[in-house]
Amino acid sequence: MAETVLEIVAAHRAGTVTPAETVARSYARIRAHNDPAVFISLRDEADAVAEAEALAAKGDTSLPLYGVPVAVKDNIDVFGLPTTAACPAFSYMPGHDATAVARLRAAGAIVIGKTNLDQFATGLVGVRSPYGVPRNSFDADLIPGGSSSGSAVAVAAGLVPLALGTDTAGSGRVPAGFNNIVGLKPSLGLISTHGLVPACRTLDCISVFALTVDDAWAGLSAVAGPDASDSYSRNRPLGKPGAMPPRIKLGVPLPGQRLFFNDKEYEAGYEAALARLAKLGCDIVEIDIEPFYETARLLYEGPWVAERTITAQKLLASDPNAIHPVTREITVGGLRPTAIDAFAAFYKLERLRRVSDYIFAHQVDVLALPTAPTTYTVKQLLADPIQLNSRLGTYTNFVNLLDLCGLALPASLTSKGLPFGITLLAPGGQDARLAEIGRVFHADTQLPLGALSLPQPPMASMPVAAADGEIAVAVVGAHLSGLPLNGELRSLGARLLEATKTAPDYKFYALNGTVPPKPGLLRVDAGKGAAIDVEVWALPKTAFGAFIDGVVAPLSIGTVTLADGRGVKGFLMEAAAVGNAKDISRFGGWRAYLTQEKSGSPSP
């Protein structure tokens, strides 16, 4: 069954599943998941299904989110559902959708409910809510992360494939890291915050949670754009991700500045992630990250604490006990700073912004940091709510102050099977660049989707952009990521560009007697064959000779036509070998064939 946004939309367009069936499945999964702390409010199922049926009746299957169920963090207005910001005394019924929600609906999405959060979006932990603590999708003893706790868990558990969160100091990234999903924190002003309950209005972003980078980008594309109703909206070109650029300079902290609070598993996970990025063609550049840490400390020292207090100010005065004790302690602190304190902080921030600008202009293209330095149990957080929360913001608190965009990515699982994630950061306006790197990195990890124990689908096709000095090479068999001969490509300095398909001009065969087992791709008349899964790798020209030197009959290197008509070098087989080979074209790819062989199930 389709799980990702792109798979669901494709299934709806093909007519194999209806939008109403997909929406009903979300409600069935919510009941089966049986965690009342994930959603604060749900739409009536019959109403949501009726909306999906009405959408299908209109017949416009071109909508980018056609029939996709989505969840929305409950500090973002959805018409017909209360907005609580996880504070019942604050609750109100909005008169219209937030701009981002209205754009989701216009793109064909079906909103099914409002998700739980740390009250007033104050926290990175997910435990500061009178509506309960959503279960971490991997270990119920661990915090889910916050403040967008419900949205992250809903996606990781497969309740919805897409959800909106928010991010002021890491709320759209930390819960993604703790739940093995993607958290996209856009550039400031790229998504309208009209209809969002402010945490810090000058820093707030609406963020996107999804199972893959391609899905997160689909969500961002649907909701991004300037909005005259939002005075902090900016007209920032969104762009579109292409192939992963070569030789990206990735900034990482000096070894002595890498903070993990004695979490050896996360420390090892970070080292492994950097090694993976290097193998994918990135240049790892160690830098002094102290200016970013200094910026992070500003967030809870100056005017931004006072800014957090604005939304809760009336409630603090009239009914302070209606506010969560920890949230109350933080927001009361916002009453103390003076105007002098605020201007001193503004001056310091401007100095640090110049340092950040210099680092990105002269030293690195992108930062690659742990999403969080460690994680904690719910019990630990309740015993020490302020300090442990602060630790979780080590690598996130400075980001919006410096107008950086961010992309939180699953990176690995610890020895206990718990997620570890990294975040890519770049100057505002470079969201597409992060997606170009992040989608390839995530695909290369071969991690399952969220907590669903399902493999990632192939990346959506992007234009191949082998750099000068490189040759694009398509592989179809044992050289695919994770298969026995993939190490040959990596040892020669190749980097993965994309996963895609050939044109439907090929027959696909399992060759007889090869070790390891290999397939062969045979060109037939145009349109008379099958579209076969391939990966396209960028191989240094200096290594191309060594690579093809190992190719033996009945295989050879020729030109393979991809689904979009591009031609790249790739493996082809000689027609004379067909008689001793098994036609496996119906499987559409080598992985699918191997899966069938491993399971021992009969061939279809």
- For the question of residue 481 being annotated catalytic, the response is no
Of the candidates 345, 89, 81, 78, the one whose C-alpha atom is nearest the C-alpha of residue 202 is: 345
Give residue-wise pLDDT tens across range 94-117.
999 999 999 999 999 999 999 999
pLDDT at position 246, please? 84
Give residue-wise pLDDT tens across range 428-450.
999 999 999 999 999 999 999 99
Tokens of 208: 């996107």
For residue 363, the surrounding DSSP H or E stretch is: none
The catalytically annotated residue of 26, 137, 148, 171 is 171
For residue 231, the surrounding DSSP H or E stretch is: none
| Least confident stretch, 150-164, 287-301, 479-493 | 479-493
Of the candidates 135, 143, 178, the one whose C-alpha atom is nearest the C-alpha of residue 159 is: 135
For residue 29, the surrounding DSSP H or E stretch is: helix 19-33
456-475 burial, b at 16+ Cβ within 10 Å, e below that, comes to bbbbbbbebbbeeebbbbbb
**Exposed/middle/buried for 21, CB within 10 Å: 0-12, 13-18, 19+?**
middle
Tokens of 128: 């500061």
| Least confident stretch, 235-239, 290-294, 475-479, 495-499 | 495-499
Mean pLDDT of the chain: 94
Q: Fill in the DSSP letter of residue 447.
A: P
Are 410 and 421 within 8 A, CB to CB? yes
Please check the confidence at residue 604 and state whether its pLDDT lies above 50: no
Q: Fill in the DSSP letter of residue 136.
A: P
User: Is pLDDT larger for residue 86 or for residue 591?
Assistant: 86
Q: Which long-range contacts (CB under 8 A, 24 or more apart) does 269-273 make?
A: 269/370, 269/411, 269/412, 269/414, 269/420, 270/370, 270/411, 270/420, 270/422, 272/411, 272/412, 273/368, 273/411, 273/412, 273/420, 273/422, 273/441
For residue 59, the surrounding DSSP H or E stretch is: none
Are 75 and 114 within 8 A, CB to CB? no
The alpha carbons of the chain give a radius of gyration, in whole angstroms, of 25
Q: Which CATH superfamily is domain 1-235+255-457 in?
A: Amidase signature (AS) domain (3.90.1300.10)
| Least confident stretch, 128-137, 169-178, 568-577 | 568-577
Residue found under tokens 């002595």: 256
pLDDT at position 548, please? 87
| Least confident stretch, 217-231, 368-382, 560-574 | 560-574
CA dist 394 and 374 (Å) reads 10
Cα atoms in the 13 Å half-sphere on the side-chain side of 445: 29
Q: What is the mean pLDDT of residues 391-420?
A: 98
Please check the confidence at residue 603 and state whether its pLDDT lies above 50: no
Q: Report residue 464's pLDDT band, with 50, 70 and 90 as the boundaries.
A: low
Q: In sequence order, which ranges of 116-263 are alpha helices (DSSP H)? A: 149-156, 174-178, 213-223
Portion of the chain with pLDDT greater than 70, in percent? 98
Fold category of 470-599 in CATH = Hypothetical upf0131 protein ytfp (3.10.490)
Q: Report residue 597's pLDDT band, with 50, 70 and 90 as the boundaries.
A: confident
- For the question of residue 264 being annotated catalytic, the response is no
Are 104 and 8 within 8 A, CB to CB? no
The catalytically annotated residue of 26, 129, 137, 147 is 147
pLDDT at position 324, please? 94
Instruction: Mention every residue, 6+ apart, whose C-beta is less than 8 A from residue 362.
Output: none
Across 207-211, 279-283, 575-579, the highest mean pLDDT is recorded for 207-211
Q: What is the mean pLDDT of residues 558-586?
A: 90
Q: What are the domain boundaries of the chain?
A: 1-235+255-457, 470-599
Give residue-wise pLDDT tens across range 348-384.
999 999 999 999 999 999 999 999 999 999 999 999 9
Are 409 and 424 within 8 A, CB to CB? yes
Please check the confidence at residue 45 and state whether its pLDDT lies above 90: yes
- For the question of residue 585 being annotated catalytic, the response is no
First to last CA, the chain: 18
Positions of E strands within 23-168: 39-42, 69-73, 110-115, 162-167
Pairing of strands 404-413, 470-475: unpaired
Enter the pTM of the model: 0.81
Are 115 and 148 within 8 A, CB to CB? yes
CA dist 369 and 273 (Å) reads 10
Q: Which long-range contacts (CB under 8 A, 24 or more apart) does 125-129 make?
A: 125/149, 125/376, 125/381, 125/385, 125/388, 125/389, 125/392, 126/175, 127/378, 127/381, 127/382, 127/385, 128/86, 128/324, 128/326, 128/327, 128/385, 129/37, 129/86, 129/324
Q: Report residue 10's pLDDT band, with 50, 70 and 90 as the boundaries.
A: very high
Q: What is the mean pLDDT of residues 206-211?
A: 98
User: Is pLDDT larger for residue 110 or for residue 463?
Assistant: 110
Q: Report residue 576's pLDDT band, with 50, 70 and 90 as the boundaries.
A: confident
Q: Report residue 602's pLDDT band, with 50, 70 and 90 as the boundaries.
A: very low
